[in-house]
Structure 1
Amino acid sequence: MTAPVAAPAPVACPARTLAEHVAALLPARTGVPWTVEPYAPWWTARHPGVRLVQGARALVLVANGHTWNTEVGWQLPGREPYRPDFTFCSSRPDVVAREILRLVLPVLDDDAARAREDVSRVRLELLYEIGAAMRAQGAATYERGGLLVNTSTVTWSSAGLRYSATLHGSNPACDVQIEGPVRAVERAVAQFLPGKPLDPKTWPMRNVRGRLARRMAAFLAQRVDVEQTDAGGIAFGTRPGVYGYAAPAADPAARVRDTTPASVDLHAVGVDFLVSLAPYLAR
């Protein structure tokens, strides 16, 4: 009697497995989740690739099994990536998803915004999505016209901090302001920045004027590039990605405690990124 032969188990596609985990971490927009489709990327035939799709937006994801890097390109109608737009030195789904939210989707949305005509309606829809995400976490929001023409703002408070997110014209990326005790502001700002490196950066703190500015510079320099402006504030970060400005203290020589008031402005924050951070910003 011939022994039964078991069929070999199918080999899972690493790109599809990664993409499915990433899709689960990316927020749905207007109730539409991200889905995964087979796809053959233009720039490689050696490594497996797939496509993540949400409405008219699409991302091409390639898992490089030799370097454990993840390559990502973005698609729109009329726009096909012939090489990766971003390469991330990780194949962890949480890291890849966060970098897509922080770096890729704001660029994709900025390009898509050029084809829109009813920018006022789109701006209000995006603002509503942000407010809905914060309200889902229990925060009370207030939406209003911005201080400038063609701007709209949503504000909320949580854990002793005051937040405002402002959209300008057809720009789909937000300006986010965070105000409150410096320790809480630092924790909130960290959610928007790259992870703290294993090898901390050094920066000449003795050259920073003001005690609050020195504290903010020491904190921010662990994650992004920093520079003190002539006004005494701290400019930090570069594009692509979130960048911003930490306002100087009214009295630069005053002692700084964890409860000292601080204010930070963040720019180029994608709506998807902000919505994904709602559990941290509105709890």
Structure 2
Amino acid sequence: MTTATTPVTPAPALASAVAARLPHRDGQPWTVAPYAAWWTTRPAARLTQEGRHGALIIAAHPWHTDIAWQLDDREPYDPDLRLDRMSPQAVARETLRLVLPRLDDATAVKYAHQPGDATRQRLLHLDLIGAAVRAHGAATYNALGVLPNSNTVAWANRGVRYAVSLVGANPACDVSLSGPVKAVEQVLPHFLPEPAAKTPRYPLRSVRTRLGRRLAAHLVQYTAVDQLDDGGLTFGDATGPFGYIAPAIDPAARVRDDTPVSAELHGVGIDHLMHLAAHLAR
């Protein structure tokens, strides 16, 4: 790997604040060191975690923040994500949503064709999620997944049932949740982009069911929403977590806060779920 020379400027304070907000794995925190990123002369930092392959590169600019991921055979010459945000909370949030899953995915290539290693990594990752959830008071149980070569960790909280599944060597989690519509509405935005300053105009008249209209009006604040022919809703895009909400059993029924709803999320990062454990477990 070609690495940049050691910089003489200190790491930006933003990097340390972001590192403090990223979840520990096996008790190991993220550490920060100054770094010279290839694409900028601005102060940058390299974030690493003991026992984990790869690193994050963060460069702070006056009006935006650059984030990239690095492996031994992959030196970033451009940022993988550029945010028009500079607050540690926002940078950590999008790093968990969009950057760390890509780092994990690239790392998984090393054991993708080794079923034994893939199984061990799959169970290890689910154990990390389960331990984070149990630390906040929820009881979890593990089971074989529905798909071949898959495993699941599940729990329930405030009437919402969660199941997180991993398939094969893929480190991106599938999350299913079901429960009262009001509770599900509160959970889904944690996985989606921050709401826009102005909610885009959305033709709710094109959504044919009462439950669909309520959920679409809520989710469109964060991401694109579309209704499928079966009456279910899709939301999100290919750059981050995306999902599907099953159609109502009775499309014409009145919708109340306790109306049951089932949703699925795909492409969710392991660290993202660990970070959200406090919200999902109590």
Which deviates the most, 187-196 or 86-95? 187-196
Q: CA deviation at 1:57?
A: 2.3
Query: Which of the pair has more CA radius of gyration?
Result: 1
| 1:208 partner amino acid | V
The question of 1:39 aligning with 2:38 is answered: no
Q: Distance in 1 between matches of 2:204 and 2:107?
A: 41
TM-score (normalizing by structure 1):
0.93
Aligned residue in 2 for 1:20: 16
For residues 42-81 of structure 1, what are the alpha-carbon distances to aligned partners after superposition, in whole Å with 9 as ceiling and x for unaligned?
A: 1112x1111111132201111012xx20001100111100
Match of 2:195 in 1: 196
The residue identity in structure 2 corresponding to 1:58 is A
The residue matched to 2:93 in structure 1 has which SS? helix
1:62 aligns with 2:59: yes
Q: Which whole-Å CA distance do the structure 1 matches of 2:53 and 2:147 have between them?
A: 30
Residues 77-92 of structure 1 aligned to structure 2 (within 5 Å): 77-92=72-87
Q: Distance in 2 between matches of 1:82 and 1:158?
A: 43
Between 170-179 and 47-56, report the one with greater CA deviation: 47-56
For 1:193-228, what per-residue CA distance to the aligned partner results, in whole angstroms no more than 9, with x for missing partners?
A: 112222112210011111101111111111101110
State yes or no: 1:274 paired with 2:273.
yes
SS in 2 for 1:132: helix
How far residue 101 of structure 1 moved from its aligned partner, in angstroms, is: 0.1
Q: What RMSD, in angstroms, separates the aligned Cα atoms of the two structures? A: 1.1
Q: What one-letter code is carried by the residue in structure 1 that aligns with 2:271?
A: D
What residue in structure 2 maps to residue 259 of structure 1? 258
**Cα distance in 1 for residues equivalent to 2:217 and 2:240:** 20
2: distance between equivalents of 1:282 and 1:234?
A: 25
8 Å contact kept, 1:113–1:171: yes
- 2:216 equivalent in structure 1: 217
Q: Percent sequence identity over matched residues?
A: 53
Q: Distance in 1 between matches of 2:81 and 2:96?
A: 12
Matched, 1:244 2:243: yes
1:141 counterpart residue number: 140
Aligned equivalents of 2:184, 2:177: Cα separation in 1: 7
Partner AA of 1:18 in structure 2 = L
**Unaligned 5+ runs, structure 1:** 1-11
Unaligned runs of 5+ in 2: 1-8
SS of residue paired to 2:131 = helix
**Which of residues 89, 92, 100 in structure 2 aligns to 1:94?**
89
Q: 1:9 maps to which residue?
A: none
Instruction: Provide the residue aligned with 2:4 in structure 1.
Output: none
Residues of 2 paired with 1:189 and 1:120: CA distance? 28
Q: For residue 87 of structure 1, what is the amino acid of its counterpart?
A: R
Which 4+ residue blocks in structure 1 deviate beyond 4 angstroms? none
Q: Distance between the aligned counterparts of 1:247 and 1:28, measured in 2?
A: 34
Alignment partner for residue 102 of structure 2, among 83, 104, 107? 107
3-state DSSP of counterpart to 2:243:
strand
Contact 2:53 2:107 in 1 (8 A): no
Count residues with an aligned counterpart.
268
Superposition map of 1:171-210 within 5 A: 171-210=170-209
